Structure formats: structure tokens, C-alpha cells
Amino acid sequence: MIWTVELAAALDEAPFPANREELIEWAERNGLPSQVIINLEELEELDEGENTIYENIEDIWPDYIQKV
């Protein structure tokens, strides 16, 4: 999984809170770069059948600093 500031910034308008599948669907509908979709697909789920809810991009990439 490779995150850059530019790739993470593509998720600034994502519909948080959301689970991995919701984020992937949103990214595909909005034409985000394929690397963003690949990164989202690589996010680990806690247990099979259990959806992790991401509250913001920092839940995905803790080092990301959003523009204020």
C-alpha cells in the first residue's frame, strides 16, 4: 500500500464515516486514481464479516495532515 499526499488528498471529500467497501464504491464512481482504489482494497478488515468504519482519512493514513 503506497500513500502520497496527493493520493490521500483525493479522499478529502469522501463520505466519512464509511467502511472499506463504501469508500471503494465512492472512489470508483468519482474516478479517483487507480492507486487509491488499490490502496483501499488492501485495507485490512478486523475479522471476516466485520466492517471497520473509518471516520476520516487519518484512520487510513495516520500521518496525513488535512488542509484547514
DSSP string, 37-57: HHHHHTPPPSSTT-PPEE-SH
Query: Which helix (H) or strand (E) segment is 19 a member of?
Result: strand 18-19
Domain limits for position 49: 5-60
**pTM summary value:** 0.85
Position 10 scores a pLDDT of: 95
pLDDT band at 68 (very low <50, low <70, confident <90, very high): low
pLDDT tens-digit readout, 4-52: 999 999 999 999 999 999 999 999 999 999 999 999 999 876 555 677 8
- Please check whether residue 65 lies inside any domain of the structure: no
- Please check whether residue 24 lies inside any domain of the structure: yes
pLDDT band at 63 (very low <50, low <70, confident <90, very high): confident
β-bridge mates for residue 19, sequence order: 53
**Domains in the chain, number:** 1
